[in-house]
Amino acid sequence: MFCGTYEYYAKYRPSVPEEAVQIIVEHFDIKPVDRILDIGCGTCQMAIAMDGKCNEMVCLDSDLEMLKQAKGEIERVNLKQKIILVNCYAEDLINRKNGLGIFKLATICRAFHWMDQNKVLIDLDSLISEDGGIAIISDGSFWTGEEEWQHAVKKVVQKYLGEERRAGKGIFKESPEPWENIISRSAFSVVESKEIEIVRTWTVESIIGWLFSSSFASPKYFGNRIKTFKKDINETLLSINPGGIFNEHDYFNLILASRPRK
């Protein structure tokens, strides 16, 4: 689904805010000796954000090429904690239990919507220590953004790729119910949600880069029309702001879940 996006994903996906990291660390009392499992790690934005907060992070992704890109990012920033990259589907967690060990925390950043959520939650019950939990992290998409320029960008994407939001070879489907409800039925039934307001500044280059990092506007979808698409996006954005700078008001959403106290 993310074939052809890897370099764009590493370069143009926004980092996880420090405030979000601090909330997670304090909520789960993460210590420098703890181990964290990051599921659907992408190019390790979560591991980079958690630098120095734990002893070890096992970063799991089903896409081997994404992990190769992640390895380069980890080497570039020289993280303090130990990083282990594992090529594995989230749904295969239970089959890897003996090799993975036990963790204080599992993080899922910008990836929960791609998973068999109920199965992953069941499997995590045997991988997370009794005093630990899970943190689901998400933020907005240009597809659903409310800024004028985001609406304009979406229309250009639809002009080339169709009205519906793509997801690889298929169509993206929204979750039928809030994630909090799904999680509350799992072993991690004590659920708390937090929202962090953020403002981002984008350029024409970074907007196009973010689009090419996504599952709905991967460069491969455009074929020989990719230069025309980039020109179209560029002209559309500059017609809105000739200065080429665009602000986005967004929210970083955290779902923090743990087991009931005995």
Q: Tokens standing for 153?
A: 């960008």
Q: What is the residue-averaged pLDDT of the chain?
A: 95
Count, in order, helices (H) and strands (E) of the chain.
10, 9
> Beta strand pairing status for 56-61 and 82-87?
parallel
Position 261 scores a pLDDT of 87
HSE toward the beta carbon, residue 112, CA cutoff 13 A: 22
Top-confidence residue, 26 or 96: 26
One-letter amino acid at 239 equals S
Whether residue 169 has pLDDT greater than 80 = no
Whether residue 262 has pLDDT greater than 90 = no
Position 198 scores a pLDDT of 95
Whether residue 159 has pLDDT greater than 90 = yes
Q: How confident is the model at residue 237 (pLDDT cuts 50, 70, 90)?
A: very high
DSSP states along 46-68: HHHHTTTSSSEEEEEES-HHHHH
What percent of the chain has pLDDT above 90?
89
Question: Distance between CA atoms of 99 and 84, rounded to whole angstroms?
Answer: 12
Question: Distance between CA atoms of 43 and 99, rounded to whole angstroms?
Answer: 22
Whether the predicted model's global pTM rises above the 0.85 cut:
yes
Position 193 scores a pLDDT of 98
Per-residue pLDDT reduced to its tens digit, 35-82: 999 999 999 999 999 999 999 999 999 999 999 999 999 999 988 899
Average pLDDT estimate for 91-102: 90
Q: Tokens standing for 124?
A: 């995590």
Alpha helices (H) along the chain: 6-12, 18-27, 45-49, 64-77, 97-100, 117-124, 148-161, 179-184, 204-212, 226-240
Position 247 scores a pLDDT of 97
> Beta strand pairing status for 103-109 and 166-167?
unpaired
Q: How confident is the model at residue 97 (pLDDT cuts 50, 70, 90)?
A: confident
Average pLDDT estimate for 175-181: 92
At what angle are helices 226-240 and 204-212 packed, to 10 degrees? 140
> Beta strand pairing status for 128-138 and 245-258?
antiparallel
Position 43 scores a pLDDT of 95
CA atoms 159, 161, 166, 167: torsion sign: negative
